[in-house]
Every structure is written in structure tokens, then in C-alpha cells.
């Protein structure tokens, strides 16, 4: 691919994106996330056998946060099927912030509008099969190990604990959902699993590899195995496109047009259908929770290499 021979252009794009970081702010509502260095920016682009472009310190790790929602959705779909999942969570974008409670109250029946907002993600996490939190988390980690080929990946206990101790808003969403029979688990166990899934620690190279599998019909080129069934990889990309960048997903679709999911740690995972997987880490966020430098970088990459799906 062209990108690998275009080092000079890539350096310019990185510099321009990096300039944006000063307009952002690291997330601090989860105390442990506030320790991130806002001036970090790293990028990895993977094309099935190797990284074709990297920038910054690509070995630096960060937590998945909301990016994990795409992976738990895939697991729930594999575990209980489309009918089971979509009887408890909807398919529509909300236009509201990711942690909003408002549509749960104003919609009847009280079912979260999609799996990418916190309420929907909590409902999806509740669907994952397993007898204990450890078993469910173990299954998620095994799935991530297979997607990345990196069996060292685990969760960051400090970040998980920091979120668990301060997750009052997510707790209230979960209790609301239990009252309305959308979730059935013990809420503290559900919160433990959810905060641990959000605290799974990866590098942007790991993200690029996961994105590649999602972008390429669920197949790993490295192992020549189908890890995610085709129809599920399509559902993942669709939600990434319609709801993956919080309530900036519409603008992002116009400006970038690559199915992507971001997290409040500053990670963005972008899956170009039948193309490269892209992982970015830049913890300075805009007011909606997206990496400000990461968005700029993806916009430049999409323009230069014509990566929009539209």
C-alpha cells in the first residue's frame, strides 16, 4: 500500500495532528485516567502480515475503555445470537453523550438505544456467557489474545478499581436497567466485569490488529482463521460507523468515513473494510470524548489515501 512509502507525508500529518492535542484535555472522571500525558500521540497501521506504518511510541499501552464495547458486542452475538441481543438493546444512534440516562426514561420499552452507549454496553456485558466474573473476563481476554496474537494482554487493575469505586453514574444506569428487566446479573458483579473490560490494556499496534480482523470479514490473515463470523463483523462495523465516535459520529462519517470506535482513554480503533487496520492513541480529548489529535490524524489519512467507505 502507498502509505508505507509515504514517510514524509505521514510525518507532516502527525505534526499537524499533534498541534491539536493542546486544545484537548485528558479524561479525569475516572481518576486513574487523569495521569495520562496529554502530549502523547502514537499510530500503527497494520495490513495483515506486518505494520506498514507506525509513529510515536507504539509500545505504550492504554486502556480500551469504550473500544471494548465493540468486542463484547461480538461475543454476545456469538453467545446468544442476534435475536437475543437485539431484544434487549436497540440499533439506533442517540445523539446524546455516551453516559446519558435521558432516553432510557423517555423511551418505552425502556431498552438502551444501541450497544455503544454505556447503558447498551452494560446490557451487552450482562449477556456474556460464563458462571463467574473471572470466567466471563477470561473468555473476553482469550478473544482479544486471538484477535491480536498477543497473549500477554490483560486488564489494568489500578484503572479498573479507580473506575469501579467512582462509577456511580454507570451503577445507576445498571440499576435502572435491572428494574426494567433489561439486565439480570447482580449489579456489583456486572460493574466489576464492565470496569475490568474497559481497563483491558493494549498498545496501538494491538488495536490496529483487532481493526484489521474486523475490517477483513473477521478473518486473521496471520493464522488464516475466521475469528468472527462475517455477519457479526458487519454488525460491528455498522455500529462503529453509526455510533462509534459518540455524538460526533455523523460529523466523523462525513469527515473521515472509516468505521471507528473511540474510548475516553484516547484510543481510536479504525477498521477500513478490505483494507488496513488503524490504531491510534492520543489521550487529549475533545468535549465529546474523542481523541482530538487522533480525529485530525484519521481525517488526514482518510483524505490522502481515499479511505472513506462512502
Binding positions for ligand GLU, rule: CB under 6 A = 65-66, 98-99, 118, 163, 170, 198, 263-264, 289
Q: Is 110 a catalytic residue?
A: no
3-state helix, strand, coil in the chain (%, to 5): 50, 10, 35
Residue 296: active-site member:
no
Residue 68 or 300: the one with the smaller Cβ distance to ligand GLU is: 68
264 catalytic per annotation: yes
Nearer Cβ to ligand GLU, position 195 or 220? 195
The CB-of-246 to ligand GLU minimum distance in angstroms stands at 7
Q: How far is the CB of 69 from ligand GLU (least distance, A)?
A: 8
CB of 248 to ligand GLU, least distance (A): 12
Residue among 162, 213, 246, 296 flagged as catalytic: 246
Is the CB of 126 or the CB of 163 nearer to ligand GLU?
A: 163
Toward ligand GLU, which CB reaches closer, 47 or 163?
163
Task: Pick the catalytic residue from 69, 196, 209, 261.
Answer: 69
Active site residue 291: no
CB of 111 to ligand GLU, least distance (A): 19
Catalytic annotation present for 87: no
CB of 103 to ligand GLU, least distance (A): 16
Residue of 26, 200, 264, 272 marked catalytic: 264
Between 120 and 289, CB nearer to ligand GLU = 289
Q: Which residues are catalytic?
A: 66, 69, 194, 246, 264
Amino acid at each position: 500500500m502507498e502509505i508505507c512509502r509515504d514517510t514524509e507525508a505521514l510525518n507532516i500529518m502527525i505534526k499537524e495532528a499533534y498541534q491539536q492535542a493542546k486544545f484537548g484535555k485528558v479524561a479525569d472522571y475516572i481518576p486513574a485516567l487523569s495521569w495520562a500525558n496529554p502530549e502523547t500521540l502514537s499510530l500503527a497501521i497494520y495490513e495483515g502480515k506486518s505494520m506498514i506504518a507506525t509513529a510515536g511510541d507504539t509500545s505504550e499501552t492504554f486502556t480500551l475503555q469504550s473500544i471494548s464495547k465493540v468486542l463484547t458486542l461480538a461475543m454476545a452475538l456469538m453467545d446468544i445470537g442476534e435475536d437475543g441481543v437485539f431484544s434487549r438493546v436497540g440499533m439506533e444512534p442517540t445523539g446524546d453523550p455516551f453516559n446519558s440516562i435521558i432516553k432510557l426514561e423517555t423511551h418505552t420499552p425502556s431498552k438502551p438505544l444501541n450497544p455503544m452507549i454505556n447503558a447498551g454496553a452494560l446490557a451487552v456485558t450482562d449477556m456474556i456467557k460464563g458462571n463467574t466474573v473471572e470466567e466471563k473476563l477470561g473468555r473476553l481476554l482469550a478473544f482479544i489474545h486471538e484477535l491480536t496474537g498477543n497473549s500477554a494482554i490483560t486488564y489494568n487493575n489500578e484503572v479498573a478499581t479507580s473506575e469501579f469505586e467512582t462509577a456511580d453514574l454507570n451503577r445507576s444506569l445498571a440499576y435502572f436497567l435491572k428494574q426494567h428487566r433489561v439486565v439480570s446479573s447482580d449489579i456489583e458483579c456486572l460493574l466489576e466485569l464492565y470496569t475490568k473490560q474497559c481497563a483491558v490494556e493494549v498498545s496501538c499496534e494491538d488495536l490496529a490488529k483487532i481493526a484489521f480482523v474486523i475490517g477483513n470479514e473477521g478473518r486473521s490473515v496471520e493464522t488464516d482463521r475466521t475469528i468472527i463470523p462475517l455477519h457479526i463483523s458487519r454488525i460491528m462495523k455498522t455500529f462503529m460507523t453509526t455510533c462509534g465516535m459518540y455524538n460526533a459520529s455523523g460529523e466523523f462519517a462525513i469527515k473521515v468515513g472509516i468505521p471507528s470506535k473511540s474510548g475516553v482513554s484516547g484510543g481510536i480503533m479504525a477498521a477500513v473494510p478490505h483494507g488496513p487496520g488503524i490504531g491510534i492513541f492520543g489521550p487529549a480529548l475533545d468535549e465529546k470524548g474523542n481523541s482530538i489529535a487522533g480525529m485530525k490524524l484519521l481525517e488526514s489519512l482518510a483524505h490522502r489515501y481515499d479511505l472513506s467507505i462512502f
